[in-house]
Structure 1
């Protein structure tokens, strides 16, 4: 609530800047987010980079603009209401396939979905799920398509599963806890937020999930006009996100400490557990691996939602020059997030 109010005040300040020349001269770099409050995933580095002064130390004045979903973020970016937006890759590919846009992905602060597959404790291994019920958001949704791929790689006959459409991850988790479904996909945050996990088990953890399906979920995109006119600011923003990601990778408790006052409904112990679970998930090199992005594009085009969508080239929606400039100055972190080219 406090964070939402703070964001509202910032949006109001932006409106004032339009009519106040002295404020307009500051030319803030507007970063559009699709979450209202800092999420319990590594994507929170964007909120925390602003909160902890990382952007300021890189010499760029960043304003966070919050909208509800990716379509709103893309619409805002098209309308010139921001310079950069964090959006889903599938929505970006849809837009690129339609033509007439110049958006380029320059970074991915949280490339991997922190998904895991949980089940009733009586089904402790993936193969135990054969013939069982499996909850999904909807048939053809990201969690459904991706999870079927992951399960198949763990020797599950996905055709034997009874697929139940249950909606949002929190609803699916509650259905699992109530015994209404045998297994489902959820984020590590939703899993840890369950008040009672007795009788439940993690069948495929988040590391195993991403290893089986290295699909990049969201990227930060900028219009080519912004790359041309404010390239130094774009590089500074990405450099700040890489720097804070490296700091949290090195010291996970720092993330928990920073998040603690921003998410009062979550205990510090749970935040520390979450922070440790993100090991290897931080975008310490900007999250821009050509191999993973190509895999992501190929996988998305195999989903039902893209059956009639015109194919596009990777170069049509990515720009590696920004992150390459950042890594040229900071060096490459060899521990994770390999930036393949």
Structure 2
């Protein structure tokens, strides 16, 4: 009898549905970032993923190469990566990767410099901090500085990794200038030895390029497509909320980052107006324009444009927007 009961118990357990695995989202920030990219983690904190019916688990790595490696090796289902790295992988033969949205199409970058660098022309021969050769900040910085009349060949490029490391090096006088997000700059802007050399608006005008996307593997789309759409839906709804109600973002960030002064959060909320990805963050035209720009760089010399369908899939965004409906930009605050 005991054996029969045991067999029945095992059979009953096997009949139960397997517990759903969390949908792992790989990010390259070691803590909640002070940029619109924070929308992903705030979507979890504020319950948007729960309401969309998807359990999300964050996997933290440093910089896009590790995020790409983690995603491709199956350590995560979706990764926030530089478009440049996704395109490079495609050019090198990858057929299994697709961009599906951009939670941070417009990175609020600026060029910060030591106080003795009064104008972009003063950068000739100076040490310029970058994340790494080929990183988003490196590529965008070179374009912006060229637009400002600086010959990139005259710079001493210093690879330092994460924005916080570059900001620390700038404060210590180990570099003369660097590109960082406005959130990172807010933590050091009270130091009299640093100042803004090229502001956020001027930076964006010089390089209005989609630079970060959330990518997945094709097998993830095939096997967990509804969860991919649910993640996009939750992030889009959170972005719409923060775009329409900047005070909601401030309140959420006060919980997530109590170390940041409220005055800085208020300044950042105003700076982010008009930058939230309220519609999934990428269109075919934006992807094509970004690819065209990337292909002008020396790292892609001689490389032909790749079909958008070879590295992006707009199907999930289309499905989400069909469900949520469009949003009227006139209803949203702007800078």
- Same fold per superposition (TM over 0.5): yes
1:204 equivalenced with 2:198 (yes/no):
yes
Residue of structure 2 in register with 1:12 after alignment:
none
> What is the rounded CA distance, in whole Å, between the counterparts of 1:98 and 1:164 in structure 2?
26
Residue of structure 2 in register with 1:42 after alignment:
36
Q: Which residues of 2 match residues 1-341 of structure 1 at below 5 A?
A: 24-120=18-114, 126=120, 129=122, 131=124, 133=126, 135-137=128-130, 141-154=135-148, 156-158=149-151, 161-165=154-158, 167-168=160-161, 169-177=163-171, 183-194=177-188, 196-198=190-192, 200-307=194-301, 311-335=305-329
Unmatched segments (≥5 aa) in structure 1: 1-18, 337-341
Check 1:182–1:98 CA distance in 2 against 1; reply closer, same or farther (3 A cut).
closer
Number of equivalenced pairs: 316
> What is the rounded CA distance, in whole Å, between the counterparts of 2:36 and 2:14 in structure 1?
36
Bigger radius of gyration among the two: 2
> What is the rounded CA distance, in whole Å, between the counterparts of 1:140 and 1:36 in structure 2?
21
TM-score by length of 2: 0.81
> What is the rounded CA distance, in whole Å, between the counterparts of 1:132 and 1:225 in structure 2?
48
> What is the rounded CA distance, in whole Å, between the counterparts of 2:175 and 2:66 in structure 1?
33
> RMSD value over aligned CA atoms?
3.0
CA shift, 1:279, in A, is: 1.4
Unmatched segments (≥5 aa) in structure 2: 1-12, 331-335
CA shift, 1:215, in A, is: 2.3
CA shift, 1:71, in A, is: 3.2
> What is the rounded CA distance, in whole Å, between the counterparts of 2:309 and 2:315 in structure 1?
12
